Amino acid sequence: MGQSGVTIYQVAETAGVSISTVSLALNHPDRVKPATRDRVIEVAGQLGYRPGATASERARRRVGRIAVLAPFSSYETYRTRLIGILDTFGPDDVEVVVLDAPSAAEANSPLLETLPVRGDVDGLLIMGVPLGDQGADRLRRWGPPTVLVDSAHPAFSTVAFDDEQAGYLLAAHLLDRGHTRLAYLHEPQRSGDYVSAAMLRLRGILRALREAGHAETACEEIVLSGTDVATARAFAPGFAARPDRPSAVIAHHDGLAAGLLNGLRTAGVAVPESLAVAGFDDGPLAEGLGLTTIRQPFAESGRQAAELLRTQIQTQRHTGTRTLLTPELIIRQTA
């Protein structure tokens, strides 16, 4: 029997599925068809079902438990944000559960869909994972206090980075250096439910072009199939061979910029003499490569989000505040 008194049998009967399907939908949501998963989650939420806790779990819940959902395996930067979260909650003796989302480019992660009805955490931090209206509605009705980082929904507090201003600063710097044609490398946006960081940065780039008197077509948008170093490295030789290539490239993050630099070096292209390269994030990789980039306060965003969540857990209130962190242009040798 679940903690609410509602059994898994009642959820299965009401949803018209087997008990094993209910278990899979809640614990391994990626293994259940979306329509079936949605039906199970909706029924479980309406009935107030919460999975039963073992004695050890009940003891642990007296300590306090939060979940952090982010694309940790895809982006190094979210691990840096996690440091800020751990620094904040560590002294409070709070257990932090780390959940990996496969991509920051898709809304409605299966794992995120099930969290509201699992009832095993006191608070939730969602970092870099888009929150669609359906998921937001379920979190409001059944979920714990929730704070978003690098994601947005009006129903929840958000700690975000000013991506549009970041794109503007980087493009304005390149235009000041005499570049009149830019290229922007980024991953595809796979969902129309939100505006990604990549698209916000593109807005800033285009704004800088307009303010400098250039047409928006002076920025060539290049969508890559992947987000890693290898993808950008493989792209570089063909781009380098183009006689009409732009004179400066902005990569959506420093990993892409690093791959591009590696490929350009192999192709014999001098940076920045023949082609300027810039990125976003600014970690040890950017410093080691001498990469011009935009610095993001990753650990600080984690700390601020954790403080907001702690307050909401104490008050048991969802709020809709928005904290916007300021970008900083770091000029180095590549641009």
Reported as half-sphere exposure (CB side, CA atoms, 13 A), residue 201 has a value of 28
Three-state secondary structure call for residue 214: coil
pLDDT at 54 (0 to 100): 44
C-alpha span between 293 and 285 (Å, rounded): 11
Q: Are residues 137 and 255 in the same domain?
A: no
CATH of the domain at 305: 3.40.50.2300
Domain tally, the chain = 3
Domain that holds residue 40: 1-52
**100 and 208 fall within a common domain:** no
Domain co-membership, 168 together with 282:
yes
Kindly state whether residue 332 falls inside one of the protein's structural domains.
Answer: no
Question: In this structure, is the dihedral angle defined by the CA atoms of residues 226, 229, 234 and 239, taken in order, positive or negative?
Answer: positive
Candidates 301, 303, 290; CA nearest to 326 is 301
Rounded to the nearest 5 degrees, what angle is found at the Cα of 163, between the Cα atoms of 160 and 164? 130
Are residues 316 and 278 both part of a single domain?
A: no
pTM over 0.95: no
Look at residue 325 in the predicted model and tell me its pLDDT: 94
Q: 172 and 266: one domain?
A: yes
For residue 248, the cross-strand partners are: 182, 276
Q: Do residue 154 and residue 170 come from a single domain? A: no
- Mean pLDDT in each 10-residue stretch from start to end of the chain (335 residues)? 69 84 79 84 79 50 78 85 89 82 60 70 89 82 88 90 96 97 86 76 97 96 88 94 95 95 95 96 93 95 94 82 94 97
In the DSSP assignment, the letter for residue 3 is T
Length, in residues, of the chain: 335
Residues 5 and 124 in one domain: no
Q: Mark whether 287 and 321 lie in a shared domain.
A: no
335 found inside a domain: no
Residue 137 lies in a domain: yes
For 156, residues 6+ apart whose C-beta sits below 8 A from its C-beta are: 131, 136, 139, 146, 147, 148, 318, 319, 320
Burial status of residue 164 (CB atoms within 10 A of its CB: 0-12, 13-18, 19 or more): buried
Residue 248 falls in which region: left (phi positive, over 0), alpha (psi -120 to 50) or beta: beta
24 and 115 housed in the same domain: no
Judge if 182 and 265 occupy the same domain. yes
